[in-house]
Every structure is written in structure tokens, then in C-alpha cells.
């Protein structure tokens, strides 16, 4: 356990030093603040709580940005260190390979969690300071949105490690990471939508649709955040969410599985690899 | 002296390439061993095997009583390793880097500062590693290998990029470690440099061990001729053939200088006759075969055996 923490703290130290933490936090903060104040301008005063509006816009932002940031950090983690030769030295120390991966994971996740909480938290704080009335339920929804965003980040960090442990060159890892991002964030949804339109509900039942939604972590995240009652009305996701019948705990479990399976895979592949 | 490293009949191949073939060797406490071979001869593969970074196809490897590939790390606590091209994260300072490795090895962090001083990085300790020169990175690499009084040190081409002064202080450190009872394995292709530094030489070629012994042992096995260089007095340059003719191989370097390759058992008689009053010799140098020549000899005979 101590080894994991040593590796994790070094990752955080490096992240601070090469300004990954700063850049990520500022990016998320700037976008979050922009969305909060510009995004609510056209809606004017709708019945919804202003924080709920922010949750909808920030969730959409998360779906695009957090997987991208996570993959950017993670795709280099193993193959990059191998190419630079630092992994050779690290593994000559009394530290297990699984400890290296877990340590990196915790470190990278801490960076993501810090950036997300601070970036999105700033938006909420700014909103509260303008004097908008926000009820407790909205705050809870906001907090769970941040937590699930970090969880979505964890999913893609884990996927990034799996990619990084499988390939021989950094360039390949980068290419695959971009491919994964495109697939999960853009292509999958378009293909799913096209499929549903073509099918017209003849063969694809609710159960199958659920499976398809759970098969993509970003869709799982979307259901989790945009499907809840007060927010769902705004996002237009209620109909899907109501039909899906997937409970939040089932969705969280799916995201956890999406984290643990690639992480275990990365550990296994990395443990077998010869340097 | 107890054995710290045992390698028995190890074979390792990467795909179709045989990196090591049926290699056996033993390293003991307080012994400095030079591992010598061309690039690609299998030196680095052997070191990686000792570190457990690669697994052997057959044969057994024991380092400090443990199988390094078995996934136990107790032995690595007492192991120091300097890779061939050592590299560090550029963003951290030398001190931060060394502190990280000291933590992993559970070495008291107080030793980090003195270790940096010892390798001559005291001034640069708080600068980013990215600003270091090649030699400074090599020194930092040496510092991390020395963390925690290692019992076995594996140094892969340790002196590349070090200037002569630093090279000397590097070998002083190696001598201290040897006196302390550590096993030091130096891999190199710069052989002449290792003369007088290593107790034993192991020569590998194409994954096979082709020689193993002290430099004196290798010399007596190889029976390489000693080179005797004589400078002749001007007037007698012509008459030299009379007395030198019987010694066999010789060549004239210039008008005054001869170079004679003397076989080990003919050496003394040659020196006697060159030193006798009637020989027209005004100066004489005796050059024993260098490690490079010894190495070339073993490589050539190794090739011939195949």
C-alpha cells in the first residue's frame, strides 16, 4: 500500500510541476463559468432551479471533455515511460507492477478530481454568489454530478492504461486513444440513434436498448445525470430514462465495472510484458 | 566468500533472436566483475534477467537467494541498478527524483543530500533534471543505484558520458563498495578502462560465455605474445638482424625502432639478449597484451569454435 501511495504522490507532483493540474483546472473552470453565465442567458427565467440548468450544461461538457483529458493523461502512462526508459529503472526497485499501475491510477484520478471539483465548484459558487435561490436537492444533484464526472474520468483513465500497456509505441497509443474518444463520445450515439430510427422499435426492446446504453460509459453517465427528475425535464432525457428503468445504483455499478475491468486488464498485460 | 548471484544454464530468446544461450556464471561477495561483450552480445539481457525484468526460457537465476522473476521484492531492496541510458522525469529536480527512489527502497531520506554531494550534484540538486547534462544525469543515476548500501550492484555501461575526473571518482566509489563486501557487476565494451578495476572478467559473445576468469588467468590461457619495443643505436641499425633474427616475429617500425612479439616462454630469453652488453639497444619497452587484445583474441577463438 505504501508503494502505491509513493507512486501516486510522485504522479501528483509531476502533474503539478508540468502544469497538467493547472491547465486542466483552468480549462474546466473557464468553460464551466462561461456555460453558467452565458448558457443561462437565453433561457431567461424558466421554472427550473438555476443550478439544475448548470448541471445540464456541465454534464454535456463533461461528456466531451473529461474522457479526452483522462485519455490524454493516461495513454502515455506506461508506454511513454517505457520509451523514455524510466520504467526500466522504476521496475528495478522493490515495487510490484500492479502497484505501479494502481499508484498512477490514484495519482491521475486525484488530479482529475481536483480539477473537476475546483473547476465546476467555482461555477456553482459564482452562481450562489449572484444570489440565485438554490435548494438542497439541486446541491445534492450537483455534488453527485461532480462525483460521477470523476468516475467517468476514472473509466477513461483505466481504458487509457489498457491501451498504453498493449501497444509498443507512444504514437500508436495516442492514435488509439483518440479513436476511443471519437467512438464513445460521437460515433456511438449517432450510430445508436440511426439504429433506433431504422428499427422503429420493431426488434430493439427496452432490455436491448439498456444493454446498448450501458455498453458505452458516456451514455451511462448521461443517463445517470440527465435522467434524474428535475434535471431530466430540462435535458429531454426523461423519456429515455423513464423507459430504461435503470436505477442510479445500477448505472454507478456499470461505471465502476467500466473502470475495474480495463484496469485489471492493464495490470495483467503489463505484468506479463517484458522490458 | 558467499555467492550472491547464481546463473545456471540460462537460455533466453526474443522471438527468433537468441539473446542468451546456456549461460552460467557465479558472482561472489566483495567481487568486482567486468561483463564484457559487443553491443547486442547479451550483456543487458543478462542484467535484466538478474533484475527479474525478463524471464528466462530455461535455467535458473538466483540473486541473493531469490528468483528475481518470481515477483518477490525482498532481494531488490539490496540491489542497485544503473541502466545503460538512464533517464528521469524532466520536470522534477534531482533531489525530488532521488527522494522518490529512496522512499521506494525505504532508505532514510536524510541520506539523499549526502549521496548527491558524493556524486558531485550538491550544487545542482534543486535544479530540474531537464536542465542536466548527460554526465550529470549519469551521476544522478549512479546516486540512485547507491541508495541503501546495496549488496549487489548492476551497472550497465556506467562510465559513458562521464569525464575523466568523474570516472576516477566513480571507480573510487566502486572500490569502496567492494571493500564493503558488495558484488559489483560492470558491463562495458571499453575494456582497457577496466584494467586493474575488475577482479574477474566474463566475456560474452552472441549470448554465450566465451571466457571467465581473472585477467591473469585469461592472459595465461590466451598465451598472447608480449610486445617488446626496442630502440637501436644509430650506428648498429644494420647489424641488428644477427641477434634478433632468432626470436622470430618482429617488425621494423622505423630506422631505429623494432617491435618484437615475444611468446610467453621466449620473453625472458629475448629480454636477456636485448639487455646484454653487445646488443645495440639504447632503450626498451615491454608492453603486456592489453585487455582489448585479450578480448579480440577470445572473440576470434570463440568464432573459430563454431
SS (H, E, C) B178-229: HHCCCEEEEEECCHHHHCCCCCEEEEEECCEEEEEECHHHHHHHHCCCEEEE
Question: Helix or strand or coil: residue B42?
Answer: coil
Neighbours of A251 (CB within 10 A): 24
Interface probe with B: pick from A8, A94, A270, most Cβ of B within 10 Å: A94
Q: Would the pLDDT of B155 be above 70?
A: yes
Nearest CA in chain B to A20: B91
Question: Which residues on chain A are in Cβ contact (under 8 Å) with B89?
Answer: 14, 86
ipTM: 0.85
User: How confident is the model at residue A87, as a pLDDT?
Assistant: 92
Q: Is A96's CB within 8 Å of B76's CB?
A: no
Å between B78 CA and nearest CA of chain A: 9
Which among A223, A230, A213 has a CA at the least distance from the CA of A249?
A223
Percent of the residues in chain B that have a pLDDT greater than 70, as a whole number? 92
Q: Check residue B185 and give its pLDDT.
A: 92
Question: Can you count the helices (H) and strands (E) in chain A?
Answer: 14, 0
Flag whether residue B71 sits within 8 Å of chain A, measured between CB atoms.
yes
Specify which residues B286 forms β-bridges with: B228
Q: Which residue has the cell 422499435?
A: A201
CB contact under 8 A, B81 and A3: no
CA A137 to chain centre: 23
Contact A91/B53, CB-based, under 8 Å?
Answer: yes
Fold of B225-288: Alpha-Beta Plaits (3.30.70)
Interchain contact B77–A (C-beta under 8 A): yes
Residue B18 CA to residue A235 CA, distance in Å, equals 62
Secondary structure element (H or E) that encloses residue A267, with its range: helix A248-272
Looking at residue A230, its pLDDT comes to 56
Task: Enumerate the residues of chain A whose CB falls inside 8 A of the CB of residue B71.
Answer: 96
C-alpha cell at A111: 488530479
At residue B85, does pLDDT exceed 80?
Answer: yes
pLDDT in tens, chain A (275 residues): 889 999 999 999 998 988 888 999 999 999 888 888 876 555 555 556 777 888 888 888 889 999 999 999 999 999 999 998 899 999 999 998 999 999 999 999 999 999 999 999 988 888 888 877 778 888 888 888 899 999 999 999 999 999 999 999 999 999 999 999 999 998 998 998 888 888 887 777 778 888 888 889 998 998 888 766 556 555 555 556 556 667 888 889 999 999 999 999 999 999 888 87
Give, rounded to a whole angstrom, the gap between the first and last alpha carbons of chain B: 35
At A270 the pLDDT is 92
Would an 8 Å CB–CB cutoff place B138 in contact with chain A?
A: no
List phi, psi (to 5°) of A128: -65, -35
CB A21 within 8 A of CB A197: no
User: Average pLDDT in the B130-149 region?
Assistant: 89
Of B54, B55, B81, the CB nearest to A89: B81
Could you tell me if B90 and B48 are in contact, meaning their C-beta atoms sit under 8 angstroms apart? no
Comma-separated ranges of CATH 3.40.50.300 domains in chain B: 3-220
pLDDT value for A208: 83
> Taken in order A35, A37, A41, A46, is the CA torsion positive or negative?
positive
d(CA B74, nearest CA chain A) in Å: 7
What angle in degrees, to the nearest 10, is found between the helix axes of A20-39 and A97-129? 30
Residue of A nearest to B50 (CA): A92
> Which residue in B17, B47, B87 has the most chain A C-beta atoms within 10 A of its own C-beta, making it the best mutation to test that interface?
B87
Best mutation target among B20, B76, B100, B148 (most A Cβ atoms within 10 Å) is: B100
- With an 8 Å Cβ cutoff, are B101 and A91 in contact? no
| DSSP type of residue A136 | H
**How confident is the prediction for chain B on average, in pLDDT?**
83
The answer regarding whether domain B3-220 maps to CATH 2.70.70.10 reads no
Within 8 A by CB and 6+ apart from A54, the residues are: A32, A35, A36, A39, A40, A123, A124, A127, A142
List, for residues B15-29, the tens digit of each pLDDT value.
Answer: 888 888 888 899 998
C-alpha grid cell for residue B157? 555501461
Taking CB atoms and an 8 Å limit, are A93 and B55 in contact across chains?
Answer: no
**Chain A positions in Cβ-Cβ contact with residue B81 (cut-off 8 Å):** 89, 92
CB contact under 8 Å between B53 and A10, yes or no, is: no
pLDDT of residue B272: 82
Reported as a pLDDT band with limits 50, 70 and 90, residue B257 is: confident
The B58-63 sheet, strands edge to edge = B17-28, B3-14, B58-63
Q: Which has more confidence, B302 or A107?
A: A107
Average pLDDT, integer, range B197-206: 86
pLDDT at A255: 92
Q: What is the rounded distance in angstroms from the CA atom of residue A241 to the CA atom of residue B181? A: 70
**A85 with B87: Cβ contact below 8 A:** yes
Q: Is B24 helix (H, G, I), strand (E, B) or coil?
A: strand
Specify the domain boundaries for CATH 3.30.70 within chain B. Answer: 225-288
Check CB contact under 8 Å for B79 and A84.
no
Nearest CA in chain B to A18: B91
Interface test with A, best of B49, B51, B52 (most A CBs within 10 A): B51
Q: What is the residue extent of each domain of chain A?
A: 2-272
- The partner residue sitting opposite A89, judged by closest CB among B74, B86, B96, is B86
Residue located via cell numbers 576516477 = B168
Chain B positions in Cβ-Cβ contact with residue A267 (cut-off 8 Å) = none
Interface test with A, best of B52, B54, B72, B101 (most A CBs within 10 A): B101
DSSP three-state, residue B99: helix
Q: Determine the distance in angstroms separating the CA of A265 from the nearest CA of chain B, rounded to an integer.
A: 18
Instruction: Write down the H helix ranges in A130-237.
Output: 136-166, 170-182, 188-199, 206-214, 217-226, 229-235
C-alpha cell at B291: 585487455
By Cβ distance, the residue of B76, B91, B103 closest to A6 is B103
Q: Please give the pLDDT value at position B131.
A: 92
- In terms of Cα–Cα distance, which of A272, A224, A265, A270 is closest to A77? A270
pLDDT tens string B283-298: 888 888 777 788 888 8
At residue B244, the pLDDT reads 60
* Phi/psi of residue B239, nearest 5 degrees: -80, -5
**Cα four-point dihedral sign B298, B300, B303, B304:** negative
pLDDT for B19: 86
CA of A100: which chain B residue's CA is closest? Answer: B104
Q: Across the interface, do A94 and B100 touch by the CB < 8 Å criterion? A: no
- Cell numbers at residue B231, please? 630502440
Task: From chain A, pick out residues whose CB is under 8 angstroms from the CB of B92.
Answer: 10, 13-14, 17
> Residues of B with CB below 8 A from A82's CB?
none
Q: Round to whole Å and give the CA distance between B157 and B294.
A: 19
Alpha-carbon dihedral A24, A29, A30, A36, rounded to 10 degrees: 150
Residue with the three cell numbers 507512444: A170
Return the pLDDT at B245. Answer: 56
Q: What pLDDT is stored for residue A42 in this prediction?
A: 55
Amino acid at each position: 500500500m505504501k508503494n502505491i501511495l509513493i507512486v501516486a504522490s510522485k504522479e501528483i507532483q509531476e502533474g503539478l510541476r508540468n502544469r497538467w493540474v493547472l491547465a486542466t483546472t483552468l480549462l474546466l473552470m473557464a468553460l464551466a463559468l462561461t456555460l453558467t453565465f452565458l448558457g443561462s442567458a437565453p433561457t431567461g427565467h424558466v421554472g427550473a432551479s438555476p443550478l439544475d440548468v448548470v448541471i445540464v450544461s456541465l454534464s454535456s461538457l463533461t461528456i466531451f471533455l473529461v474522457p479526452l483529458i483522462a485519455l490524454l493523461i493516461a495513454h502515455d502512462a506506461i508506454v511513454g515511460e517505457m520509451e523514455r526508459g524510466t520504467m526500466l529503472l522504476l521496475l528495478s526497485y522493490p515495487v510490484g507492477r500492479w502497484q505501479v499501475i494502481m499508484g498512477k491510477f490514484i495519482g491521475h484520478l486525484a488530479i482529475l478530481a481536483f480539477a473537476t471539483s475546483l473547476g465546476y465548484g467555482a461555477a456553482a459558487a459564482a452562481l450562489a454568489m449572484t444570489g440565485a435561490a438554490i435548494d438542497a436537492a439541486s446541491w445534492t444533484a450537483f455534488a453527485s454530478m461532480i462525483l460521477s464526472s470523476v468516475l467517468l474520468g476514472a473509466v477513461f483513465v483505466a481504458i487509457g492504461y489498457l491501451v498504453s500497456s498493449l501497444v509498443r509505441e507512444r504514437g500508436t497509443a495516442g492514435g488509439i486513444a483518440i479513436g476511443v474518444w471519437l467512438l464513445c463520445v460521437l460515433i456511438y450515439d449517432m450510430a445508436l440513434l440511426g439504429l433506433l430510427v431504422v428499427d422503429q422499435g420493431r426488434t430493439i426492446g427496452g432490455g436491448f436498448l439498456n444493454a446498448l446504453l450501458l455498453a458505452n460509459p458516456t451514455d451511462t453517465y448521461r443517463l445517470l445525470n440527465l435522467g434524474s427528475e428535475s434535471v431530466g425535464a430540462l435535458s429531454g432525457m426523461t423519456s429515455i430514462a423513464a423507459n430504461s428503468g435503470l436505477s442510479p445504483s445500477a448505472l454507478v455499478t456499470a461505471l465502476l465495472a467500466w473502470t475495474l475491468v480495463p484496469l485489471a486488464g492493464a495490470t495483467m498485460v503489463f505484468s506479463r510484458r517484458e522490458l | 566468500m558467499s555467492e550472491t548471484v547464481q546463473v545456471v544454464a540460462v537460455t533466453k530468446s526474443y522471438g527468433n533472436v537468441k539473446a542468451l544461450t546456456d549461460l552460467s556464471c557465479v558472482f561472489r561477495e566483495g567481487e568486482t566483475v567486468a561483463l564484457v561483450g559487443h553491443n547486442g552480445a547479451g550483456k543487458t539481457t543478462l542484467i535484466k534477467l538478474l533484475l527479474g525484468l525478463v524471464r528466462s526460457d530455461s535455467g535458473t537465476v538466483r540473486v541473493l537467494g531469490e528468483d528475481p522473476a518470481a515477483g518477490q521484492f525482498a532481494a531488490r531492496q539490496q540491489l542497485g541498478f544503473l541502466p545503460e541510458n538512464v533517464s528521469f522525469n524532466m520536470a522534477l529536480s534531482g533531489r525530488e527524483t532521488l527522494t522518490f527512489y529512496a522512499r521506494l527502497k525505504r532508505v532514510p531520506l536524510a541520506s539523499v543530500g549526502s549521496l548527491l554531494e558524493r556524486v558531485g550534484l550538491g550544487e545542482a540538486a534543486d535544479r530540474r533534471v531537464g536542465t542536466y547534462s548527460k554526465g550529470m544525469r549519469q551521476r544522478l543515476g549512479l546516486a540512485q543505484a547507491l541508495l541503501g548500501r546495496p549488496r549487489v550492484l548492476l551497472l550497465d555501461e556506467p562510465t559513458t558520458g562521464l569525464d575523466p575526473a568523474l570516472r576516477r571518482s566513480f571507480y573510487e566509489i566502486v572500490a569502496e563498495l567492494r571493500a564493503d563486501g558488495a558484488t559489483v557487476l560492470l558491463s562495458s565494451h571499453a575494456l582497457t578502462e577496466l584494467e586493474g578495476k575488475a577482479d574477474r572478467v566474463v566475456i560474452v559473445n552472441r549470448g554465450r560465455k566465451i571466457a571467465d576468469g581473472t585477467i591473469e588467468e585469461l592472459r595465461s590461457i590466451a598465451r598472447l605474445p608480449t610486445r617488446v619495443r626496442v630502440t637501436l643505436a644509430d650506428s648498429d641499425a644494420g647489424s641488428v638482424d644477427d641477434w634478433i633474427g632468432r626470436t622470430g616475429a618482429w617488425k621494423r617500425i622505423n630506422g631505429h625502432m623494432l617491435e618484437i612479439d615475444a611468446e610467453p616462454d621466449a620473453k625472458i630469453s629475448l629480454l636477456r639478449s636485448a639487455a646484454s652488453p653487445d646488443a645495440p639497444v639504447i632503450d626498451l619497452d615491454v608492453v603486456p597484451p592489453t585487455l582489448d587484445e585479450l578480448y579480440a583474441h577470445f572473440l576470434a577463438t570463440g568464432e573459430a569454435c563454431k
